[in-house]
Amino acid sequence: MNKREIRTRLSVLVVMACLVMACTPKEKYGAAFSILHELKPNEAAIGQGKFQLTYRGLYGFQVATSERPPNPIDPEAFSLSVSYEIRREKQLIRSGVLTDLTSPWWGTEGEAGFILEWLHVPEELPMDSKLSISYSAVADQRFISYFGSVATVGIWKLSDE
């Protein structure tokens, strides 16, 4: 294969990648549900809302913060607990108390957070159904010192798997 053929094939691959990115709906990888909270030490930030999952794949139930702590951090140095319920009408689909902070992430614009639970659609949560969520999040002073007092609790699409 000569240089011209290689360049042509690479150009085709780049064009195909651009088409895939241009044709991917912007909301596909956005938040399916999110609420912004002002955290206070050891006080519950309570939220509830409705959402619908329209794409298959992996989602993350997570807490996103406005400040980025140093990397690496010790997740045992602070405390965050989130209890939640997800329902389809009155039927309980999923619930739990999440305290495992072993999946931190750091964004490109100064934000950070934790994926509290991985959710697979449609295996664990149904697609194209109206769902409701209610939750309570409690952070200690050390969490707020590391990550700031502004946090968003939500469910975001992460990948197509």
- The answer to whether residue 68 is domain-embedded is yes
- The answer to whether residue 61 is domain-embedded is yes
Number of independent structural domains in the chain: 1
- The answer to whether residue 83 is domain-embedded is yes
pLDDT of amino acid 26: 57
- The answer to whether residue 43 is domain-embedded is yes
- The answer to whether residue 147 is domain-embedded is yes
Q: Assign residue 110 a region: left if phi > 0, alpha if psi is -120 to 50, beta otherwise?
A: left
pLDDT of amino acid 49: 94
pTM (global) more than 0.85: no
- Domain hosting residue 110, numbered range: 27-159
- The answer to whether residue 130 is domain-embedded is yes
pLDDT of amino acid 9: 45
Cα atoms found within 13 Å of the Cα of residue 55, Cβ hemisphere only: 19
Q: Assign residue 22 a region: left if phi > 0, alpha if psi is -120 to 50, beta otherwise?
A: alpha
Residues of the chain with pLDDT under 50: 6-23
- The answer to whether residue 4 is domain-embedded is no
Which 3-state string (H, E, C) describes the chain?
Answer: CCHHHHHHHHHHHHHHHHHHHHHCCHHHHCEEEEEEEECCCCCEEEEEEEECCCCCEEEEEEEEECCCCCCCCCHHHCCEEEEEEEEECCEEEEEEEECCCCCEEECCCCCEEEEEEEEEECCCCCCCCCEEEEEEEEECHHHHHHHCCEEEEEEEEEECC
Burial of 80 (0-12, 13-18, 19+ CB in 10 A): buried
pLDDT tens digit string along 130-153? 999 999 999 999 999 988 999 999
pLDDT of amino acid 74: 80
- The answer to whether residue 143 is domain-embedded is yes
CATH code of the domain in which 32 resides? 2.60.120
